[in-house]
């Protein structure tokens, strides 16, 4: 078999280039730490690495969303803690002002304080996150959701939606709370029914010659308690029943009477359809147990305080609780403190208004704690998912390393062997290239 000079050169060149390519590949592996420089060298491992890269990238995106979620949830929780602190301060102020000994200066200062508290509450409700969006505006997050009007009322301009983020494969979590659910729609009173006093309670009885601040008595009703929730819902909600509680100081002494009916008590639509359901002698400070019908079992009770002036009847209405905003409760206290202290019935009116406001604040406290517990649960879930995603990322990176990371001792050995082989091939090529028959013919 004869080997031509051209074949020799081509074969030698191919061998040298192959050795050089192998050496370059090994050199890149050593410099990058990646064993898969050439995808064709191990297509199966390369495909697996690409799949792992995609999974790691997705987990990184989830982790970033998770970080944002925890930041927003943490900010919301912190804001609601501040709201709770503010409410505690307002409760303390209300209790201080619920005293017949306070003077006009005390009440004026209390009004000023409450006006500042209302403004602070609006600021808290308009809290923005790090991106400048309002966390209690729902999907309307680019404008302040709560607007304080010139008349002291607060308008909600947001909606009822919640922002969500995907923090894991197929797992989303709310990262905000709708402002109307937090601040606007808590049921007033005790959450089932409210107590409201008739305006005539604070007027001097006709024919009375008394003009002192005590001429209208001091009768107030507390927020009351529910003994049977099913009956309470049936009466107040399903049937729309209202109860009128009257406490009188007449010829028969102190007595009380509770009438059940439909329509608004004191209006032309009021119908005492069930008539008197309970009545009896009245003792200041007693709790009046009220049945749905005469002779029935009581399903609610209302605590009392004080008594009417001679010849006076104090009237109160018990009706189904309706949603009320926390801002309105603050405004109600401003109104209560603005009533003065020297006019007949002023102290009694203020005491009743403060009692109602404190009942509302208690409902808001309960609602606030529930919301904070929900946020805490969402934060805990986000943290657990974050830990899971971190573990998965580490697992995928370990698998990726097994497939793509070089074994430095092995590659260094291969590099040295290939380098030696290339040098030997180059030297052999030079020596063979110098062999020629013409060197021996002279």
Q: What is the pLDDT of residues 227-254, one digit of tens each?
A: 999 999 999 999 999 999 999 999 999 9
DSSP run (H or E) holding 164:
strand 164-168
User: From residue 62, how far is each of 175, 295, 386 by CA, in Å?
Assistant: 14, 63, 8
16, 425 Cβ separation under 8 angstroms: yes
The pLDDT value given to residue 88? 97
Which residues touch 70 (CB under 8 Å, ≥6 apart)? 379, 382, 383, 386
End-to-end CA distance of the chain: 28
User: From residue 300, how far is each of 126, 191, 193, 220, 291 by CA, in Å?
Assistant: 38, 13, 10, 17, 7
Average pLDDT score over the chain: 83
Least confident segment among 16-20, 164-168, 350-354? 16-20
Whether residue 194 is predicted with pLDDT greater than 90 in this model: the reply is: yes
How far is Cα 264 from Cα 194, in angstroms, rounded to an integer? 13
Beta strand residue intervals within 176-331, DSSP E: 186-187, 193-197, 220-221, 225-226, 241-250, 253-262, 271-281, 287-291, 298-305, 313-320, 323-324
Helices of type H across 199-325: 229-232
How far is Cα 231 from Cα 299, in angstroms, rounded to an integer? 7
Of 43 and 351, the structure prediction assigns the larger pLDDT to: 351
- Residue 306, classed as helix, strand or coil, is coil
Confidence of residue 411 (pLDDT cuts 50, 70, 90): very low
Between helices 326-337 and 104-125, what is the axis angle to 10°?
170
143, 84 Cβ separation under 8 angstroms: no
Q: Where in the chain is the domain with CATH 1.20.1330.10?
A: 34-188+324-405
DSSP run (H or E) holding 28:
helix 5-32
- Fold of domain 34-188+324-405: f41 fragment of flagellin, N-terminal domain (1.20.1330)
Q: What is the pLDDT of residues 270-327, one digit of tens each?
A: 888 888 999 999 999 999 999 999 999 999 999 999 999 988 999 999 999 999 999 9
361, 325 Cβ separation under 8 angstroms: no
The residue assigned the tokens 């209202």 is 242
How far is Cα 129 from Cα 135, in angstroms, rounded to an integer? 6
pTM (two decimals): 0.80
Which residues touch 120 (CB under 8 Å, ≥6 apart)? 86
């Amino acid at each position: 078999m004869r080997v031509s000079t051209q074949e020799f050169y081509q074969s030698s060149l191919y061998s040298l280039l192959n050795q050089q390519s192998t050496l370059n590949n090994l050199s890149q592996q050593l410099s990058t730490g990646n064993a898969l420089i050439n995808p064709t060298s191990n297509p199966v491992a390369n495909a697996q690495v690409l799949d792992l890269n995609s999974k790691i990238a997705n987990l990184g995106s989830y982790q970033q969303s998770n970080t944002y979620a925890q930041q927003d949830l943490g900010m919301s929780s912190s804001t609601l803690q501040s709201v709770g602190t503010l409410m505690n301060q307002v409760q303390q102020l209300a209790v201080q002002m619920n005293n017949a000994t306070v003077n006009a200066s005390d009440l004026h200062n209390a009004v000023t304080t409450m006006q500042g508290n209302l403004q602070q509450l609006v600021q808290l409700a308009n809290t923005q996150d790090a991106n400048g969006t309002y966390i209690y505006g729902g999907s309307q997050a680019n404008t302040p959701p709560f607007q304080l009007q010139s008349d002291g009322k607060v308008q909600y301009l947001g909606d009822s939606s919640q922002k969500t983020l995907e923090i894991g494969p197929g797992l989303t979590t709310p990262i905000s709370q709708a402002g109307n659910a937090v601040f606007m729609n808590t049921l007033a009173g005790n959450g089932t029914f409210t107590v409201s006093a008739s305006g005539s309670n604070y007027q001097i009885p006709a024919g009375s010659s008394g003009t002192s601040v005590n001429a209208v008595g001091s009768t107030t009703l507390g927020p009351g308690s529910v003994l049977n929730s099913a009956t309470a819902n049936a009466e107040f909600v399903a049937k729309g029943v209202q109860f009128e509680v009257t406490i009188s100081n007449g010829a028969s002494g102190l007595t009380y009477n509770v009438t059940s009916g439909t329509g608004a008590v004191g209006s032309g639509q009021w119908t005492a359809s069930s008539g008197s359901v309970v009545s009896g002698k009245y003792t200041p400070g007693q709790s009046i147990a009220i049945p749905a019908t005469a002779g029935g079992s009581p399903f609610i009770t209302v605590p009392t305080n004080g008594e009417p002036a001679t010849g006076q009847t104090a009237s109160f209405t018990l009706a189904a609780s309706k949603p009320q905003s926390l801002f309105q409760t603050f405004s109600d206290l401003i109104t209560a403190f603005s009533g003065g202290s020297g006019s007949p019935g002023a102290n009694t009116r203020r005491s009743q208004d403060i009692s109602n406001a404190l009942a509302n604040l208690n409902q808001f406290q309960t609602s606030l704690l529930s919301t904070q517990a929900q946020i805490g649960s969402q934060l805990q879930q986000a943290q657990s998912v974050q830990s899971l995603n971190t573990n998965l990322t580490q697992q995928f990176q370990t698998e990726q390393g097994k497939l793509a990371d070089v074994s430095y001792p092995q590659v260094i050995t291969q590099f040295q062997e290939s380098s030696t082989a290339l040098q030997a091939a180059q030297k052999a090529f030079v020596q063979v290239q110098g062999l020629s028959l013409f060197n021996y013919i002279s």
